[in-house]
Amino acid sequence: FSMAVATGRAQVQQEPSAETAEGTEISINCSHPNIQISDFILWYRLLPGQGPELLVSGHKGIKALSDPPGRLSVAADRRSSVLWLARPRRGNAAVYYCAV
């Protein structure tokens, strides 16, 4: 699954897919090279048969997630971000995607 979202000026790029074993941490990367100073980075999760769920939004630095456990890290230049999931469970299997 790959997604490029154009919101006027911002475009994001993600790796096509990533897999991990249950309980094994995983990092999902997103590139957004044209991000503007006022833009927020949004990470969504799409579970099978459900609508998109906003997991976390961030502007800079690191933000913790409680469900699922993990964190969002935004690069210092804000041109990329990483969603890190600490202990993925089978129930967390989903499409994860970022938007700006």
pLDDT in tens, 40-64: 999 999 988 999 999 999 999 999 9
Q: Which of 45-49, 73-77, 81-85 has the lowest mean pLDDT?
A: 45-49
Q: How confident is the model at residue 90 (pLDDT cuts 50, 70, 90)?
A: confident
Q: Is residue 27 part of a domain?
A: yes
Q: Is residue 1 part of a domain?
A: no
Q: Is residue 45 part of a domain?
A: yes
Cβ atoms 69, 87 nearer than 8 A: yes
Domain that holds residue 56: 23-99
Give me the CATH number covering residue 54.
2.60.40.10
Residues 30-37, mean pLDDT to the nearest whole number: 92
pLDDT of the residue at 62: 97
Amino acid at 29: N
Q: Please name the helix (run of DSSP H) or strand (run of DSSP E) that holds residue 41, with its range, or none.
A: strand 41-46
Q: Which residue has the higher pLDDT, 88 or 61?
A: 61
Q: Is residue 89 part of a domain?
A: yes
Q: Please name the helix (run of DSSP H) or strand (run of DSSP E) that holds residue 71, with its range, or none.
A: strand 69-74
Residue 58 main-chain phi, psi, to 5 deg: -150, 160
